[in-house]
Copies of this chain bind each other. A is one copy, B any other.
Amino acid sequence: MRQIKYREAIDEATRQAMAKDERIIVLGVGVDDAKGIFGTTRGAFEQFGSARVFDTPLSEAALTGMCVGAGLRGLHPLLVHARNDFLLLTMDQIVNNAAKWRYMCGGKLRVPLTIRAIVGRGWGQAAQHSQSLQALFAHVPGLAVIMPATPADAKGLLMTALSMDSPVICLEHRWLYEKSGPVPEDPYYIPLGQAGVVREGSDVTIVAVSHMVLEAVQAAEALAADGIQAEILDVRSLRPLDSDSIARSVAKTGRLVIADTGWKSFGVSAEIAARIGEALFGRLKAPIRRVALPDVPTPASSALEQVYYPGPREIAAAARRCLEVALPEESAERPAPARPRDFHGPF
């Protein structure tokens, strides 16, 4: 099958959805820019013009509310943010309005609204441009939260979001944008609330979120070299959460590692652990292990970024702990901060 990049898949989903459904409009800071949110919105601008794809003032809260109102009146806005950190400016509109309007009016009105926002990482973007805030949204009834990890899922999930009539937050990890994968050319729809099986295995289940799926694959390869077969599930959608599929996998392997791009405490990994701990009580062979960001803000220095982000090494270590396999001799020293290969500034 044709291989395209993650960002191309988003662009394609947007354009195909817009071609099918003229209620869809795209707006946000910089969507019509030559760079077009890293290449994901410029195509729609060129194809559909400035009536349906338009740049906005830096008034994120008002724009979010405007999208809610437009949704009430039959449009389906796709609001795009270059960083999910900016969503914090719009929490009142998202949580108090977008998520609740339908409920508050007893179902008389609906809010078709898709919000895309990017999770930043690396190159010293520091504390306010590298958060991964899915836990804040996943907690709120009335919202759906998706985090596609592959180009195919990005297209299929985004198309589904754009076909729904309720609010969906789509968080996209910036490091996925240049990754390629097979993506069908025709429109297709991946239902929300279904985890994807990335790799089958019998010894331990690794449930991963967004970019951690890629790190989990590397971890699984390292584990496989030691004869440990990890099954990897990509949650894809956090709310609704497919705990059934996770439980099925863990029922098989008896062991669970959860790998999340957000902070550990009170993060999405906790909910997954709580659900599986309850569902599979007495059937787990080892404690559930969570691999997530340490509970500190993101540091700028590349030396600290390297310590901050867990990766394949930490995931594999957690899996090995589940299997009570001794860890391979670990060098006490961290490697010196390396220049990132496929991602660096300026951007």
Give residues in A with beta carbon < 8 Å to B: 85, 88-89, 91-92, 95-96, 99-100, 103-104, 126-128, 131, 135-136, 138-142, 238-239, 241, 262-263, 265-271, 273-274, 277-279, 281, 284, 286-290, 295-297, 299
- Report chain B residues within 8 Å CB of A288: 274, 277-278
Identical chains in the assembly = 2
The residue among A89, A92, A131 with the most chain B CB atoms within 10 A of its own CB is A92
Are A239 and B265 closer than 8 Å at their CB atoms?
yes
Given contacts A273-B274, A287-B278, contact A103 B266 (CB under 8 A): no
Given contacts A92-B88, A297-B99, contact A281 B286 (CB under 8 A): yes
Given contacts A103-B297, A296-B103, contact A277 B266 (CB under 8 A): no
Min CB distance A233 to B, Å, is 17
Sample of 11 A–B contacts (CB below 8 Å): A85-B96, A103-B297, A104-B128, A136-B136, A138-B266, A139-B265, A139-B267, A141-B297, A277-B287, A278-B289, A279-B287
Point out the residue from B126, B135, B278, B289 that lies within 8 Å of A273, measured CB to CB: B278
Complex Cα distance A96/B263, Å?
15
Point out the residue from B88, B100, B277, B286 that lies within 8 Å of A127, measured CB to CB: B100
Min CB distance A169 to B, Å, is 13
Given contacts A267-B139, A286-B281, A296-B141, contact A89 B88 (CB under 8 A): no
Are A297 and B266 closer than 8 Å at their CB atoms?
no
Are A266 and B139 closer than 8 Å at their CB atoms?
yes
Complex Cα distance A262/B289, Å?
25
- Report chain B residues within 8 Å CB of A131: 95
Min CB distance A117 to B, Å, is 14
Min CB distance A302 to B, Å, is 15
Are B104 and A126 closer than 8 Å at their CB atoms?
yes
- Report chain B residues within 8 Å CB of A88: 91-92, 95-96
Are A139 and B128 closer than 8 Å at their CB atoms?
no
Are A269 and B274 closer than 8 Å at their CB atoms?
yes
The residue among A92, A100, A127, A266 with the most chain B CB atoms within 10 A of its own CB is A266
- Report chain B residues within 8 Å CB of A287: 277-279, 281
Are A281 and B284 closer than 8 Å at their CB atoms?
yes
Min CB distance A138 to B, Å, is 4
- Report chain B residues within 8 Å CB of A138: 265-266
- Report chain B residues within 8 Å CB of A290: 274, 278
